[in-house]
Amino acid sequence: MTLSLDTLRKKAEAQWFYKVQIKRLGAQVHDPRVELAHWRPRGARNFGDELSVAIVERMLTLRGLHLDFCTPRPRRMLGIGSILMMAREGDTVWGSGVNGRNVEDEPGWRSLDVRSVRGPLTRDYLARKRPELEVPGIFGDPGLLLYDLFPSLRTRRTLPAHPERILIPNLNDLRGKALPDTLPIVSPLEPWPVVAEYIAQAKEIVTSSLHGLVLGHRLGKNVKLVRFTDAEPPFKYEDYALGAGLSGVQVFDSVEAALRVDLTAAPVEPSPALTEAFPYDLWEGAPAA
């Protein structure tokens, strides 16, 4: 005999465990946590922005910590992404940058706890807009740490195919004109381990995604930056490159032009200072008096 969903729900709600009043031990308000702010498009997940959660959680694991652990007091932290304009008063910043579309905008906060920023262009923005802020000269996109924190991603082979040449578009390029079909396209909406595996197994990468560039550089791939539209100003790419110790980044206007050039280079090494700047004290500090 089959029962309707409504009947099943009524039978479940009649069970004893729905009627037990649970008394909580401990705090009766919500326990303090560190909120990791990161950008997430409605109805989707962009792999570069999702790297923030993965990398911050992995960094915490190295100290036996987790994002869900209670903390001495509630705090908010920003990691990977061009998300400085999302900051609130007093937020902690580790590796974030400003978006090129916002470089003339006035920020909505006066004070931040800055541990590192993505690159010197973001530091210059902060110096112009909030000269009273203390911004250390510690640069680097935390995405550079991914393959060091998850070393199995370098050799992982779980996908049905691993093209030697791939195209990784920026999320905004999915909304514009049709992308060229010259190369197999790896969508930035795929889960981040999938995109990271494609990058690790490819020999040549053409990308308009910042983190396609970052991950490709970390592994010393023949990776080229192409701009299909004006949706993403060059600011964040230059900011990352300068913060990573590169002289800049070459930009191509088409896949065909990018494929004619070999930019294979030594792997880009993340600065040890970036790891040392991670704000473990937000979790390990003494309780507020």
Q: Are residues 140 and 242 in the same domain?
A: no
Tally the domains of the chain.
2
Q: Are residues 105 and 177 in the same domain?
A: no
Q: Are residues 75 and 116 in the same domain?
A: yes
pLDDT the model gives residue 38: 87
pLDDT the model gives residue 220: 98
In a domain, 80, yes or no: yes
pLDDT the model gives residue 48: 92
Residue 125: Cβ within 10 Å count: 22
Q: Are residues 179 and 277 in the same domain?
A: no
- CA pair distance 64, 79, nearest whole angstrom: 19
Q: Are residues 207 and 140 in the same domain?
A: no
Q: Does residue 28 have a pLDDT over 60?
A: no
Strand 222-226 relative to strand 92-96, pairing = unpaired
Q: What's the mean pLDDT in 96-110? A: 94
Range list of β-strands (E), 169-277: 204-207, 222-226, 251-252
Q: Does residue 208 have a pLDDT over 90?
A: yes
Range list of β-strands (E), 31-183: 34-37, 75-78, 92-96, 113-117, 165-168
In a domain, 4, yes or no: no
In a domain, 214, yes or no: yes
In a domain, 23, yes or no: no
Q: Are residues 134 and 199 in the same domain?
A: no
In a domain, 88, yes or no: yes
Q: Which residues pair with 116 in a beta bridge?
A: 94
pLDDT the model gives residue 17: 55
Position 226 confidence tier, pLDDT thresholds 50, 70, 90: very high
In a domain, 63, yes or no: yes
pLDDT the model gives residue 289: 36
Q: Are residues 210 and 135 in the same domain?
A: no
Position 287 confidence tier, pLDDT thresholds 50, 70, 90: very low
Phi, psi of 214 (to 5 degrees): -60, -50
Range list of β-strands (E), 9-137: 34-37, 75-78, 92-96, 113-117
pLDDT the model gives residue 174: 85
Q: Are residues 187 and 228 in the same domain?
A: yes
- Angle in degrees, 0-180, between the axes of helices 235-243 and 210-218, rounded to the nearest 10: 20
- CA pair distance 26, 254, nearest whole angstrom: 59
In a domain, 189, yes or no: yes
In a domain, 17, yes or no: no
Q: Are residues 178 and 101 in the same domain?
A: no
* Domain span including residue 209: 147-259
